[in-house]
Chains A and B, each alone.
Chain A
Amino acid sequence: MQNLLTKFKESKVVQFFKTNEQVQILKSLLKGNIRQYGMILALILIMIFFAITTNGVSLVPLNITNLLLQNGHILILAVGMLIVILTGNIDLSVGSVAAFVGAIAGIMMIKNDYNWIISSIAALGVGIAAGAWNGFWIAYVKVPPFIVTLGGMLLFRGLTLVVLKGASLGPFPDEFNNISSGFLPDIFGGTTLHILTIVIGIVFGIGYVISVILARRKKIRYNFEVSPLWVTILTSIFVIVAINLFTFTLARYRGFPNISLILFAVIIIYAFITRKTIFGRHIYAMGGNYEAAKLSGVKTKRMMFLIYTNMGLLSAVSGLVYAARLNSSTPKAGNLFELDAIAAAFIGGASASGGVGTVIGAVIGGLVMGVINNGMSLMSLGIDWQQVVKGLVLLLAVWFDIATKNRSK
């Protein structure tokens, strides 16, 4: 036995993995970003698992499209929630705010026949106001966010019931309903394939490569160390393949759903803000050490106010998208949305004490939950078992986070 083990250790394959430079570089890259790659890997594994258990049904174009339609509103919330969680706090009111915004939209469009664009803008304004309400109490009166947003959760749910008088309103005008049920028209007139979608995929792929090349060139001009060229090429190929596989799959059904455009816009804007701007830096600093950030000149009060106000805005976007999808305003809309959004951020690697987490991570976390829901439904396992599994996944993901953190110490 011992003999076999040493033989294995000395075998060429093992030696190759131990000594090969390329493998070592990949290894160190993986180690440094185990949380991010781990999340993506977990998502892929879960998708493969369901592809097997459902005989491939989970990966058909229709189902991938459904995944976007079913989870768009949660992913939008997860992005905003991630930013709140980065500060080490929480917002429990988002589901109620989403419901309230949906109700306002319904009353304006359905009851009063206002134009759908004007109504949507007004409804977004209501969401911003609701977020500012939370933000005011949290930032300037210093009531703990948990309490303020728990109050907000009850308050806005109550207001929803008041304005809807307890009944549902529907249906919405077609144009509005189109946000969540429509698809991007194909200007190239494809028949079996949605050509515009494929074109967008290719354009994004090329754009990605150009941005990578530009960033690399700049670094070289500054004389900075850059990762080896083959690593860059490898990751670029991976990203391009992933993007185009995704767009091709969508194209085989009806192309990009409209909601996915809103979703991608939200993800790109907030990933940009958190990663590239001063505002983003200040969020992370504040979450990492509130007092130190304050003494370093970060306007912590104003930041808290803006972050919660922004959460109100994203809750409103989510509420509109959801109302359009249901094609009605109901008093029960948005129930437990807050918990799904919070879970998404945590599964995606955010830390409850603040300062750690990414927008992309939260989106992947939301997708993990969405894929599990969707896959279990396809396996005709009901909402009961879905909840059990989701609970366990949340626990495991955070445990994994803590375990890897302890090891790195």
Chain B
Amino acid sequence: MSDYILEMKNIVKIFPGVKALDNVNIQVKSGEIHALVGENGAGKSTLMKVLSGVYPHGTYEGKIFFNGEECLFKNIKDSESKGIGIIHQELALVMYLSIAENIFLGNENAKRGIINWDETNRKTIDLLKRVGLSEDPTNLIKNIGVGKQQLVEIAKALSKDIKLLILDEPTSALNDEDSQNLLNLIVELKEHGVTSIIISHKLKEVEAISDSITIIRDGEVIESLDMKKDHVTEDRIIKSMVGRELTNLFPERKAKIGDMMLEVKNWNVDHPMYDRKILKDVHINVRAGEVVGIAGLMGAGRTELARSMFGKSYGKNITGEMYLKGKKVNFKDIPDAIKHGLAYVTEDRKNLGLVLINDIKRNVTLSNLKKLKKNLTIDENKEIVEVEKHVKSMNIKCSSIQQFTRDLSGGNQQKVVLSKWMFTDPEVLILDEPTRGIDVGAKYEIYTIINELAQAGKAVIVISSELPEIIGMSDRVYVVSEGEITAELTKDNVSQEEIMKHIVSVRKEGNQHAKSTN
């Protein structure tokens, strides 16, 4: 028997068209805190889903050993019964149930279907004590803060006699104090023999608490290090995270940068429901013929920035000024923004970009049917001509323009969305994750289209989690972190390391920024 509690050997997981995990090996020692780091989409979450049985045995290649025993999990229940607990980034708590009800949901203290509430509440108090929480077990989840909710999740995991705890970005939604509490708890659990795997982007935290670290990139393990023995530093981790070579994945373009097109100043946006600032004093601008990249993690405020600019379609209490070609503008709604030449290609193609049960034709013309208006009606013959033109120039592969968009591949769906916005004759295009979930060939085509747009004098803003894409496409890059612009980089000083530095060292920089503006 080895001293490893968990060994995953040669794990390969393939999704249609993508190799998400490529021969991954990972070993976790009993009683340690093991950090798992990597960019968005590197394969961390997929790996943990394989481990916890979300992807059942047989849907991946390779072997998993837990406590020296091979695991053949069919579902999460199987992995839980072995003592593996996972806490996802999005908490899986029911807001309108109590703490106790949530902890024992699906695992009730019941006899013949009747719940013993005294027992439940007593056990809950014990569990809450272990995670350092003194709350009434009958409090509703919605009435306690996010930090405490996170602790309840851990208590829920502990209720199942967990030996290995997996935490996916546990501190991403927490403030400094709550984060510190949580990290202390993980260290304390370690002393009681609970092994943890922590997935995090916050390298400072990783450095502070973990014993070893595994770095994943593009579905492969780059290296596994012992924090103390190998003298791991933040720079070292960043290098491993992003250290791939930039090949010519990106078509060439000679930038012809013109006049100022769109300028946003002192942009502040609050969360639409809670009293939380999502964007703080954001300044950005984009010129005609320029491609500006916005880098940052998911949830940093990138999409929120784009949508708040696009006819205030996100947030409340939006303040700040916006200038279009030097003229002050204030879009009251989305149609107003479209009329002024703005276009926003959403990151969520299927839910927000397309009407999947409509055909290509109807999707392409939806945003600008006025262009086809003839008396009272839509000129359907002209519509066919126009749409055929776009299908041809975008090289959309389809049986006809009457094919339902739900039956198209991701890349072709994205081209339909792009066609829709081209049909509105925009001057400023905001592309939110334009190549997410698209295969390499189609990506190249999308990049070519972006270049053509810039060449035609449009101002293009590209939001992306993929750093090579941001660097390869943009003339200028803004880095967004926790609702603030933390850096503006030009072609000369942009690099993946540089961007990553401004993404991960948010807190420090953010505080300085706040001080300097006060």
Chain A residues in the interface with B (C-beta under 8 A): 218-219, 222, 224, 276-278, 281-282, 284-285, 288-289, 291-299, 355-356
Contacts and interface: CB of A to CB of B under 8 A. Distances in A.
Nearest to B335: A297
B124 to A, nearest CB: 35
A285 B344 contact: no
A278 B313 CA distance: 22
Nearest to A219: B381
B370 A278 contact: yes
Contacts of B351: 289, 291-292
B352 A295 contact: yes
A355 B355 contact: yes
B420 interface: yes
Contacts of B373: 278
Contacts of A295: 310, 313, 334, 344, 346, 352-353
B498 to A, nearest CB: 33
A315 to B, nearest CB: 25
Given A218-B381, A276-B376, A281 B354 contact: no
| Interface size, B (range) | 20 to 34
Contacts of B367: 296-297
A286 B376 CA distance: 20
A276 B351 CA distance: 26
A277 B376 contact: yes
B358 interface: yes
Contacts of B114: none
Nearest to A288: B355
A190 B349 CA distance: 63
B352 A285 contact: no
B377 interface: yes
Given A222-B381, A224-B384, A289-B352, 19 more contacts: A219-B381, A276-B376, A276-B378, A278-B378, A281-B378, A284-B358, A284-B362, A285-B366, A289-B356, A291-B352, A292-B355, A293-B355, A293-B366, A294-B334, A295-B353, A296-B334, A296-B366, A297-B338, A297-B366
B335 A292 contact: no
A272 to B, nearest CB: 8
B385 A297 contact: no
B357 A356 contact: yes
A221 B20 CA distance: 51
Nearest to A276: B377
A299 B358 contact: no
B378 A355 contact: no
B333 interface: yes
B369 interface: yes
Nearest to B376: A277
Contacts of A278: 369-370, 373, 378
Contacts of B338: 297
B355 A299 contact: no
A145 to B, nearest CB: 20
B333 A299 contact: yes
A288 B344 contact: no
A219 B385 CA distance: 11
Contacts of B357: 288-289, 355-356
A288 B351 CA distance: 10
B366 A281 contact: yes
Contacts of B353: 292, 295
Interface in B314-371: 333-335, 338, 344, 346, 351-358, 362, 365-370
Contacts of B333: 299
14 contacts: A222-B381, A224-B384, A276-B376, A277-B376, A278-B369, A278-B373, A281-B378, A288-B355, A288-B357, A291-B351, A292-B352, A293-B366, A296-B367, A297-B335
Interface in B173-197: none
Contacts of B335: 297, 299
Nearest to B349: A292
Contacts of A289: 351-352, 354-357
A280 to B, nearest CB: 8
Contacts of A291: 351-352
B226 to A, nearest CB: 48
Contacts of B358: 284-285, 288, 355
Nearest to A294: B334
A292 B369 contact: no
Contact of A281 (B362, B376, B381): B362
Contacts of A285: 355, 358, 362, 366
A218 B379 CA distance: 11
Contacts of B352: 289, 291-292, 295
Most buried by B among A276, A289, A297: A297
A58 B385 CA distance: 49
Contacts of A297: 334-335, 338, 366-368, 424
Most buried by A among B362, B369, B377: B369
Contacts of A222: 381, 384-385
Nearest to B424: A297
B381 A277 contact: no
Contacts of A298: 366
Contacts of A299: 333, 335
Most buried by B among A222, A278, A292, A355: A292
A189 to B, nearest CB: 38
A293 B363 CA distance: 9
Contacts of B354: 289, 292
Nearest to B311: A297
A224 B378 contact: no
A298 B370 CA distance: 12
Nearest to B406: A409
A291 B377 CA distance: 25
A222 B367 CA distance: 24
A231 to B, nearest CB: 17
A285 B356 CA distance: 10
A282 B377 CA distance: 13
Nearest to A295: B352
Nearest to A291: B352
A277 B344 CA distance: 25
A28 to B, nearest CB: 13
Interface string B402-437: 000000000000000000100010000000000000
A260 to B, nearest CB: 25
A156 to B, nearest CB: 32
Contacts of B362: 281, 284-285
By Cβ-Cβ distance, the 7 closest A-B pairs, closest first, are: A288-B355, A276-B377, A296-B367, A289-B355, A278-B369, A297-B335, A297-B338
A215 B353 CA distance: 32
Contacts of A296: 334, 366-367, 420
B313 to A, nearest CB: 6
Given A289-B354, A355-B358, A294 B369 contact: no
B414 to A, nearest CB: 14
B73 to A, nearest CB: 30
B383 to A, nearest CB: 10
Nearest to B357: A288
B369 A288 contact: no
A159 to B, nearest CB: 35
A277 B377 contact: yes
Contacts of A276: 376-378
A61 B333 CA distance: 56
A294 B356 CA distance: 14
Nearest to A218: B381
A405 to B, nearest CB: 10
A387 B313 CA distance: 47
Nearest to A284: B358
A285 B359 CA distance: 11
A218 B378 CA distance: 15
